[in-house]
Amino acid sequence: MGLFKSEEEKTQEMMAKYGLERLTDEHDQKAVEKILSKIVGNRLIAAGTLLGGKAEDVAKIEYLDILMQQNFIIIRQLDKLLHKE
């Protein structure tokens, strides 16, 4: 096991964290994975801003993170509704 996780491993961890690893539609699954891989790439920038940024920038990052989480809740719920058996 390496010291650092690959981008793909981090993306899969985030999929699990937000309960998105079992999306029914394969296209939706791939789209969410793509979104999360971009988020993983930007986390280092966000972390730097959170540590030394202006209060306004920190607030913006926090609000965007909240919106992202809300969007993932909506995606999960819509997937459940659309693919209810």
pLDDT of residue 78: 93
As a whole number of angstroms, the distance between CA 69 and CA 65 comes to 6
Residue 77 pLDDT: 92
Domain count within the chain: 1
Is the pTM higher than 0.75? The answer reads: no
Would you say residue 2 lies in a domain? Answer: no
- 75 and 32 in contact (C-beta within 8 Å)? yes
Domain extent, residue 74, equals 27-82
**pLDDT tens over the chain, length 85 residues:** 556 778 888 888 888 988 888 888 888 888 988 888 888 877 767 777 777 778 888 788 888 888 999 999 999 999 989 887 5
In a domain, 5, yes or no: no
The pLDDT of residue 85: 56
